[in-house]
Every structure is written in structure tokens, then in C-alpha cells.
Amino acid sequence: MNRLTLGSGMIAMLVTLASPIVFPQFAQPNVTSPPESAFSIPLAQLIQPEALNRMLQAGGAEKPLVLQVGSHILFAEAHPPGAEYAGPGSQPAGIQLLQNRVNALSRKKLIVLYCGCCPWNRCPNVGPAFAKLREMGFNSVKVLYLADNFGTNWVEKGYAVEKGR
């Protein structure tokens, strides 16, 4: 009986010690996991900054609707020309704003979502926004892949920006 108790105790201790390694999310208990990670977006739906910049610079062709689904303050500091602010994707109010903005559009309309608030693996906004548009039936949705943030992966690359809300 004593051996059993000792053995159970040791197993419990090992599991506790190993949990941050086996289950990395347990290593940061104070941080709320985003409802849908940016990693949930299929690779085929991503667009690289260079490709979007080229698309926006091209004359004549129909431009995509570019929507920022993160911070309004960061949007006001700099955003791609013609982009619109559509509310933070991680919050219900933001999702509602996004829905209102695109509701009347053709489901074939090319829409590019982006955030760039944080490193890609930490972004809480693009995943839920992408899921919402797919749920609404939009089948030409791309998400701008910003590995670090909008400053590093867009502005510092010298791509075109506008300021203001």
C-alpha cells in the first residue's frame, strides 16, 4: 500500500514536472489562449507581403478589399493604401463590425485580412476573422502573413503605407 502511494506520488510529480514540456500551453498559465490560432488558417490561404504590395501597386486590375482586423491605433499609424479598419477579430464586437462591412459583398470578392499586432503565432485576431468570412460563404479570402508584425514585415520593407483612421 505504501509502495503504491509512493509510486503514485512519484508519477504525479513526474507528470507535473514534465507538463510544461509535453503541454507547452501549461507553461504560461496567465496567458489566455486565443480562441482560434493564426495557425488554423490553411497555408494556401496566406499571401506574402511582397505579393500583396505588388497587387496593390498594379494598375488597372481589380484591387482586393484589404481589412485590418486588429488594433485601430496601430491601423491609424500606418496601413496599406486603401485598407479599411474592420474591428478586432478576437472580440465579438469586432467580428460584428467585420460582418457588417462585408455582408452586402459578393461571396466571390477577393478579401485580404491582416492584423500584424504581434508575432504570427501569437495573433489572436486573424484566425477568428478568417473563420467568420469562411462561415459567411466567402471563398476568395486571403490572410496577409506577417511573421513578426506590420512594422517589421511591411513598413520596414518599404512597401506603400497610408496614415489615418
Applying CB under 8 A, which residues contact other proteins?
Answer: 28, 30-32, 34, 70-74, 76-78, 88, 90, 116-119, 122, 124-125, 148-152, 154-156, 163
How far is residue 63 CA from its own chain's centroid?
21
Nearer to other proteins, 100 or 152 (CB): 152
Question: Quick one: 117 or 138, whose CB is closer to other proteins?
Answer: 117
Q: How far is the CB of 3 from other proteins (least distance, A)?
A: 41
Q: Could you tell me the smallest distance in angstroms from the CB atom of residue 87 to other proteins?
A: 9
- Is residue 146 within 8 Å of residue 43, measured between CB atoms? no
Closest CA to 113 of 140, 136, 93, 91: 140
Select 50 or 148, whichever has its Cβ closest to other proteins. 148
The least distance separating other proteins from the CB of residue 84, rounded to whole angstroms, comes to 15
Sole residue written with cell 490561404: 45
Q: Rg of the chain's alpha carbons, rounded to an integer?
A: 21
Nearest to 66, CA basis, from 110, 100, 130, 124: 110
Paired strand residues for 47:
144
Shortest Å distance, C-beta 156 to other proteins: 6
Question: Closer CB to other proteins, residue 108 or residue 163?
Answer: 163
